[in-house]
Amino acid sequence: MSRIAYVNGRYQPWRDATVHVEDRGYQFADGVYEVCEVRGGRMVDERRHMARLERSLGALHMAMPMSPAALGVVMRETIRRNRVVNGIAYLQVTRGVARRDHAFPPSGTAPAVVITARAIDGAGNVAMAEKGIGVVTVPDNRWGRVDIKSIALLPNVLAKQTAREQGAREAWFVGRDGKVTEGSSSNAWIVTADGKVVTRAADSAILRGITRDVLIRVISAQGLAFEERPFAVAEALAAREAFLTSATQIVMPVVRINGKAVGEGKPGPVARALRQAFHRHAEWS
């Protein structure tokens, strides 16, 4: 659990860490976030996460609340105060506190910045990767700008809950065209029968995962064939392997889709090798 949270300039005990009832994040989901992996006490791919944060804020017509370097200092301090060695750092920026009105508040309204950090069960994650996970598919009923890492995650919350209720770990969103877009909190991948690693191009139908970007470099370094294109559920079921990527799961083999086995129904060599190699290609700070 996060013991200390950073809230608008102050480090506070977790139970006292609160934001105002009229924070626009609370009322309108008017904000964005980042989740960064912490490994060995260091942040993984901080620079890329900061760049994506700046892009998401820009899409909301918001400026960075402080420089990327200063945010990095605060994130590291939050990680240190929570004594997180392996886990995640969470950063959220909202448009701040103002009387409720849909339009933007007066200029000069200070953004609200919250940072938390907590350990994750590394051994549990490794055990899960050894076995692989199941996913279920759900209709993609999200808005048209899921490329923004917005805190408005209701469809994702409902999709993840559907997965859990069906004994699966993740839900894959499927568009009207029958093609998989991405997971509720991860990007989706397959390895085709002829050995090509496939994931959807980073258009406005998916969040451009940092793990996804780094993994594309790993794939190239390993000399694997790679294709950026959408794939249908049937193609994923006929694939040799499937997996997902995120800052919390890195590369997680998917061995069942809607209860049906993918490939041999166990983690495959490509996902395994990519997971092994990932952190050699990531940036550390």
What's the min distance (Å) between Cβ of 30 and ligand PDD? 17
Query: Rounded distance, CA 111 to CA 93, Å?
Result: 7
Amino acid residing at 131: K
Q: Which is nearer to ligand PDD, 117 or 210 (CB)?
A: 210
What's the min distance (Å) between Cβ of 84 and ligand PDD? 15
What's the min distance (Å) between Cβ of 189 and ligand PDD? 11
Q: Which is nearer to ligand PDD, 5 or 210 (CB)?
A: 210
DSSP state of 78: H
**Of 122, 117, 123, 162, the residue nearest 139 (C-alpha):** 162
Query: Rounded distance, CA 178 to CA 200, Å?
Result: 13
Q: Catalytic residue at 179?
A: no
Q: Which is nearer to ligand PDD, 207 or 270 (CB)?
A: 207
Annotated catalytic residue: which of 149, 179, 196, 266?
Answer: 149
Which residue ranges make up the site for ligand PDD (CB under 6 A)? 35, 156, 182, 185-187, 207, 209-212, 245-248
Q: Both tokens of residue 28?
A: 């309108």
In sequence order, the 6+-apart residues with CB closer than 8 A to the CB of 20 are 26, 97, 112
Q: Which is nearer to ligand PDD, 46 or 182 (CB)?
A: 182
What's the min distance (Å) between Cβ of 246 and ligand PDD? 4
Q: Which is nearer to ligand PDD, 77 or 213 (CB)?
A: 213
Query: Rounded distance, CA 5 to CA 274, Å?
Result: 33
Query: Rounded distance, CA 138 to CA 155, Å?
Result: 10
CB atoms within 10 A of CB 233: 17
Q: With DSSP H G I counted as helix, E B as strand and the rest as coil, what are the percentages for the chain, rounded to 5?
A: 30, 30, 40
Q: Cβ-closest residue to ligand PDD?
A: 209
What's the min distance (Å) between Cβ of 180 and ligand PDD? 12
Catalytic machinery residues = 149
